Amino acid sequence: MKQIQWYPGHMAKAKRLIEEKLKIIDVVYELVDARIPESSRNPMMDEITHKKDKILIINKTDLADPSLTKAWMKYYDQEQIPYVLCNSLNDNITQKVYEKTMKVLSHLHQDDINKGKAKRNFKAMVIGVPNVGKSQFINNMAGKNKVKTGNMPGVTKTQTFIKAEHDLLLFDNPGVLWPRFQSQDQAFRLALMGTIKDEILPLDEVVIYGIEYLRKHYPKALEKRYGFMVKDEMTTIDIIDMIGRKRGAIMAGNEIDYDRVFNLFLYDLRNGALGAMSFEKPQ
């Protein structure tokens, strides 16, 4: 099994810039993927930002299993971790993020009042792993397309302040991973969500991991999407072959075009075509 890791040079540079900018930041918005809310939290960013007020922005809730999202809400409530649930692609999230921000930063607001200072424009830093939806989140908050977006890791390469509604100032950052994942399970979860560039991944192993997870936790998802019954005696390769035949991913000689099957399965999984599902639960 190939060890999955991805930490290109621009991420190391972004980490240094984040450390520099934190001096003028009031609050950190950490975006995570609702399907893997803990695996998509960067422990390196946690170390850097731990002295700042932080709000967890649990994004892509429309793609996650609602029952597991409720379990995560209960967990974060118990841990007293402030959070906001959102689908930043379609939700109007500005008001609830602003209200949570004012609650979390009430101590700073009160300090300003006590010192007779004018109301300040709070500065928020937006962080998260690649492809977690930071640019869409900022565009939603700003009410206009201020940031280049795309469903691929590493779209945002530079850093800039953007004025959002309610006079919030948002500091955007490229998606940053960390040099060594805690486990290969975590690496596979991140790979399934599109956090790591497909070009460097062993896609066969990623797809096998995904299909085996679905077979265990969402057995009807494969059948509903691809139109065949998953029998107990079928191996994971049998399922991949069947997806290929059902989707017409056939090469000369009636051979399965595995690259095409891998890409279409990952596309379906990442974009919700296999249904709402989550890939980890609170421990």
Any binding-site annotation on 88? yes
In a domain, 283, yes or no: no
What is the domain range of residue 247? 202-270
Q: What is the mean pLDDT of residues 39-63?
A: 93
Q: How confident is residue 155, by pLDDT bands cut at 50, 70 and 90?
A: very low
Given a cut of 80, is residue 148 above it in pLDDT? no
Tokens standing for residue 76 = 């974060």
Q: What is the largest CA-CA distance in the chain?
A: 79
Is residue 175 annotated as involved in ligand binding? yes
27 pLDDT above the threshold of 90: yes
| CATH code for the domain of 266 | 1.10.1580.10
Q: Per-residue pLDDT for 149 more than 50? A: no
Q: Is 72 left (phi over 0), alpha (psi -120 to 50) or beta?
A: alpha
24 plus 154 within the same structural domain:
yes
40: annotated binding-site residue?
A: no
Is 207 a member of any domain?
yes
Q: Does the annotation place 131 within a ligand binding site?
A: no
Handedness of CA 33, 269, 211, 8 (dihedral sign): negative
Question: What is the mean predicted confidence (pLDDT) over 178-185?
Answer: 85
Q: How many domains does the chain have?
A: 2
pLDDT at 146: 61
> Going along 34-157, which residue ranges are E strands?
53-59, 83-85, 123-128
pLDDT tens figures, 190-232:
999 999 999 989 999 999 999 999 999 999 999 999 999 999 9
Q: What is the mean pLDDT of residues 130-149?
A: 79
Average pLDDT of the residues in 183-189: 93
Is 160 annotated as contributing to ligand binding? no
**Distance of alpha carbon 142 from alpha carbon 126, whole angstroms:** 13
Q: What is the pLDDT of residue 3?
A: 61
Residue 122: inside a domain: yes
Band (pLDDT 50/70/90 cuts) for residue 45 is: confident
pTM (whole model) above 0.85:
yes
Q: Among residues 123, 154, 172, which one ends one of the domains?
A: 172
For residues 166-193, one letter each, b for 16 or more C-beta atoms within 10 angstroms of the residue's C-beta and e for the rest, the string is: eebbbbbbbbbbbeebeeeebbbbbbbb
Q: How many Å apart are CA 70 and CA 282, to the nearest integer? A: 10
Residue 179 belongs to a domain: no
Q: Where are the extended beta strands (E) located within the chain?
A: 27-33, 53-59, 83-85, 123-128, 160-163, 169-172, 250-251, 255-256
Beta strands 250-251 and 83-85 are unpaired
How close are the terminal C-alpha atoms of the chain, in Å? 26
Residue 216: its pLDDT value, please?
Answer: 95
Determine how β-strand 83-85 pairs with β-strand 27-33. unpaired
pLDDT at 177 over 60: yes
